[in-house]
Amino acid sequence: MLQNILSIVIALGVLITFHEFGHYYIARRCGVKVLRFSVGFGKPIYRYVSKKTGTEFTLAMIPLGGYVRMLDEREGNVPDALKHQAFTQKNVWQRIAIVAAGPLANFILAVAIYALVALLGIQSLAPKVGHIIDNSLAAQTQLQEGDELVEIAGEAVSSWEEVNLALAGLIGQTRTIIVRYRAEGLSSIQQDQVVLNRWLVGEEPSNLIQSFGLLPWQPKVKPVIAQVVDSGAAQAAGFMVGDVITTINDEAMDSWQQVVKKVQTSPSDELTVVVLRQGQSKTLFLQPDATERDGKLVGYAGLAVVPPKWDESLIRERHYGVFAAMVYGVEQTAKMISLTIGSIGKMLQGLISLDNLSGPITIAKVASASADSGLQSFLKFMAYLSVSLGVLNLLPIPMLDGGHLLFFGIEAIRRKPVSEKIQGMAYRVGASLLFALMAVAIFNDIARL
């Protein structure tokens, strides 16, 4: 719980600060007086007032947003001596620049984070296929265990992460794509066609790679027990560290993967397990606990083995110089912006279910999981979240930056501002829409728990 809280506070704190600093910096450059720069909402827990500018900098209790309050004639009377510093006195292009600076700051931050990841060196796992799921999209190809994916629908892939991103862009599509791969033991590239027909429309897939019909290759692990979870089903059955599982229900177990599959497909069923303990066979009776995963009950025993050592040829490392890292940062940010906009468009078309919306609880869990996976994973999560924050704020919804930009754009075309009455009505509609979306996201979070 503590790690969840710290991870999300750090991630959101950095992203919100950069977003609001974008507004603040351009406002100051345009000669607008900034009254308050707040990170978070609610009661301030820290306050500092700049003697030079008079701006109040605050850190508030609820770290789920922030704001920059500027001198504005719409919020009250402004003394004549200060009117030239009011936001409303600036021309429409200056106001557009001030509002757009927040999302732009998020995109710049994402570029910087991705560039930092590249400078630190990117380590990834080659997309070597382990298994093809029957009657799946991947089963339309001639892919075999040991083959390595090279390209999906025109997107070059050199890691499972890139495979996942390529597949994310195909959700909801109806078309024929080309999958290119290198067959095991061959240097030449093979290719096959895969026919998509409204792929995953209305669904909430938890694993796109598996939904496509692929399981990543894994080295075979001997079923030698390295850990028995306290109070778990395996401990109740009498398992001990060092036990070697030989059979389950008279079926030979040659690898840990076989054991996992057998246990997961037997929730609450009693299994007869033969283990080799200190050279002697011993029979145990295991009744796996039943836990829900992706809407299905799966068995869980509470056992673990020593993680396998991966073939070094499958671990790909890429190192970048400063210039190449910046190029990588720009490319990755552009790719994430495109993916985010595409996903929003598909959601509006009904191709992606609203069940995929996530709120603060899911974000906190992902932040914690990425922090567990290491610095590189956490930085990538922050970069993607920064892109998401920037794109969402540019949506043409009143109350968001995009809504303000919409009004200013109309003003630039008409040469006069949109009436305050229309803006007020639009803001009320926009607030209602945002609250409704937040309610759906939080409901989805709770449902996932």
Separation between Cα atoms, residue 178 and residue 195, nearest integer Å: 9
Alpha-carbon radius of gyration of the chain: 27
Angle between helices 420-448 and 401-414 (to 10 degrees): 150
Separation between Cα atoms, residue 63 and residue 305, nearest integer Å: 40
Angle between helices 322-349 and 160-168 (to 10 degrees): 40
Catalytic residue among 20, 148, 151, 162: 20
CB 143 within 8 A of CB 132: yes
What DSSP string runs through 31-44? TPPEEEEEEEEEEE
CB 357 within 8 A of CB 340: no
16, two tokens: 């919100």
Active site residue 20: yes
What single-letter amino acid sits at 355? D
Instruction: For residue 240, give Cα distances in angstroms to 99, 224, 261, 264, 361.
Output: 62, 10, 20, 20, 36
CB 303 within 8 A of CB 235: no
DSSP state letter for 130: E
Terminal Cα-to-Cα distance of the chain (whole angstroms): 14
* Secondary structure element (H or E) that encloses residue 67, with its range: strand 56-70
Catalytic residues: 20
